[in-house]
Structure formats: structure tokens, C-alpha cells
Amino acid sequence: MKIAIFFGGQSNEHDVSIASGTSVIYNIDKEKYQVYPIYISKEGKFYLYEKDIYKIKPLKVGAKLNNLKEIENILEYLQDIDVCIPILHGKYGEDGSIQGLFKLLNKKYVGCDILSSSICMDKVTTKMLLEGIGIKVTPYLYIKKNGHKYLYFDSNFNSYLLSKSELLKLVKEKIGYPLFVKASSSGSSIGTFKVEDASSLISSITEASLIDEKILIEKNIEGRELEIGLLGNDEVICSPVGEIKASDTYYSYKAKYNDKNSQTYLASLNLKTLNEIKDIAKRAYMACSCKGLSRVDFFLESKSNELILNEINTMPGFTSISMYPELFMMYGYDYKTLIDKLIMLSLS
């Protein structure tokens, strides 16, 4: 079976995707599959990574590639491929874009389809959908920057044009400090800012709006950060629940990929909470029409002991230190078996 593994991509998570992609190439069963590593540059060009497939090892975030040969006609090149694995994070890879290409070419591919990818990539849309089925999400405001003013959308999607002072008043009343400002369609904590007071709110919104016009202003949740992996189509397997211990003030890009002091480990939880996490994660997975895999992130609030769903990641990291493969190793699937399961799911 011929497998094309895509990595790199045009998003701001390009470097993470290289680390994830090369990790998958390294771990896939090369005796069982013919593997074609396809690198996508930041400019959107497709290249065959020509390095000996048996000599490719997981690269660190930020590493550069050599041994690249441009693929002149990607549509023609993919004709003989049986399954595509898009290890692409962020826009143009995790938002339904490349899934649309595979669909047009009638190619099987690993992971969520066009609809679920686009829903889960957009944090605002995900929150609205999950709220509609009674799943508690992080309290938030949804705004867009509009020149020197701000377009605010309420829970009924009525819009109001606010001045800076009006926005600051609204945020203080509805959210409070500290809080988080997030670009709606971005991952790996890129475009995410922890804001301690009003003095840095506007500059954080301006920074986030360079990544996406849709901006979330979220309440800071004091509590534990928990993650669970899901694997399957109609029948879904849940991994054990992992917990994040970040040395940074929050689980930032640096904490995720460059900080050896940040740790992930098996969460110690009572059976009721474990079952509740699995139930909510499965409901969210089905509501968003997810397939193949996803990682669902939660907060367990300290004061109320309530579970709050933070986000759904349809193509979680696959680096050597990423939570998703680590969780399924705890479940009993080694990295090679996990990739094999994902390929089989794409064919069913």
C-alpha cells in the first residue's frame, strides 16, 4: 500500500508540522507500507523529501530540510497513492483545505473530513456548537477589530460597534482579569496571550488580529489542564486522561515545544470525573462530526470541580513529546500500531 505523508504547510505551525511529520515517517511500518514523504513549503509548493526513508529521524521544532525535489504536478503525482496522511497543523492543513483536495481526487485520507476540520479549527464556531448541546465551554467574548473600534457579537449574534473604552468596560464586567486573548483559528498557542490587566488588552487584540480577524477574549480558569485522545469513526476509543504541568504561566508555544521543565503525565482522577471526561469528549467528537482522531482539552476548575471543555484538536501534535501518541502508548498502542490503526480507519 502506498502512503503519502504530508508535513510542513503554509500555516504558522509549519515548524511543528515538520517535527510531527518526520516523527510519523520514522515510526510508520516501512516494511508494510511504501512511504512517500511530501513536504509543503510555507509558499505552498510541494516537494518529495528524497532522503532515504530508513534514515529519516524525528526532527526538532525549527529544523530545516534538505534533499527536497519539487513535485511539478501534485494532482498527477497523487494518482497512484492509496492513503494520504496530512500531518499538517493550522490553516490550509487542519481547516479542511487539504482534505478538500483529497476529496476531489477521491483519495482516502487519515483524520477528520472537510466539515469537522473546518468547525474545530475555528474556536468561535466550536464553542457555539458545543454550547448548543449543553457542553460547558470557557466563558468568552467574540470580537473583531474594526479600525480603531471593535465589533462585538453577543450570544444571539447581534453585533455592536464598540469604542476602546466601551470594550474595556464590557470585558471588565463580563470576563474580568486575568484573561486570555486568542486568535480564533490558530493552534500551538500561537496568537494566544495571557492578559493580566486592561493596559495590555488592546495590544494583545491587535497582535492576535494579525493571525485571524475573529478574536476570542476568554476567562482565565484556575484549575487543572487535562487532555484525552480519541480514536475511531462511529465507534470511538478513549485514551487515558493526561495532565499538563507547564512551567510557564500557561501552556504556551515555548512550554509545549522548547521547555524541558513542562511535563505531561497520567492524570490522577476519581472514576466519576474520568467517566464524565470520556462522555463529554465523545459527545463533542460526534457533534462536530469528527473521524479518525482528535484530542479534546479540558479544564477541571478548582473551586467548582466542574469540567470545562477548552478545545478540540483534529490533528494533534505527533512529535516525540506530544500528548496524543503518549496517551495511546499508555492505552497500549505503540507509535507504530497507532499509525496503523489510523490508516485502517481511513479505509473503513
pLDDT in tens, 71-87: 999 999 999 999 999 99
Specify the range with the lowest mean pLDDT, choosing from 20-24, 146-150, 255-259, 265-269: 255-259
Residues 277 and 129 both lie in one domain = yes
Residue by residue, DSSP assigns 187-253 as -TTTTEEEE-SGGGHHHHHHHHHTT-SEEEEEEPPPEEEEEEEEEESSSEEEEEEEEEE-SSSS--H
168 or 262: which leads in pLDDT: 168
pLDDT tens-place string over residues 218-248: 999 999 999 999 999 999 999 999 998 765 5
Residues 288 and 180 both lie in one domain = no
Residues 128 and 262 both lie in one domain = yes
CA 97 vs CA 59, 60, 275: distances in Å:
25, 26, 34
> How far is the C-alpha of 67 from the C-alpha of 60, rounded, in Å?
17
Pull the grid cell for residue 199. Answer: 493596559
What is the reported pLDDT for 258? Answer: 55
| Domain end point (choices 189, 219, 249) | 219
Mean pLDDT of 295-305: 96
Residues 202 and 245 both lie in one domain = no
CA 187 vs CA 101, 145, 282: distances in Å:
22, 20, 21
DSSP, collapsed to helix, strand or coil, labels residue 334 as: coil
| Amino acid at site 38 | I
As for how many domains the chain has, the answer is 3
Mean pLDDT of 5-12: 95
| Residue 229 main-chain phi, psi, to 5 deg | -95, 145
- Is residue 27 situated within a structural domain? yes
- Is residue 167 situated within a structural domain? yes
pTM for the structure as a whole: 0.92
- Is residue 31 situated within a structural domain? yes
Residue 282 has pLDDT above 90, yes or no: yes
Residues 256 and 341 both lie in one domain = yes
What is the reported pLDDT for 189? Answer: 67
Pull the grid cell for residue 243. Answer: 495532565
- Is residue 343 situated within a structural domain? yes
- Reported as a pLDDT band with limits 50, 70 and 90, residue 252 is very low
Residue 59 has pLDDT above 70, yes or no: yes
Residues 214 and 226 both lie in one domain = no
- Is residue 191 situated within a structural domain? yes
Q: What percent of the chain has pLDDT over 70?
A: 94
- Is residue 115 situated within a structural domain? no
- Is residue 116 situated within a structural domain? no
> How far is the C-alpha of 248 from the C-alpha of 297, rounded, in Å?
18
Burial of 79 from C-beta contacts in 10 A (0-12 / 13-18 / 19+)? exposed
Residues 8 and 80 both lie in one domain = yes
- Reported as a pLDDT band with limits 50, 70 and 90, residue 251 is very low
Domain of residue 193 covers 140-219
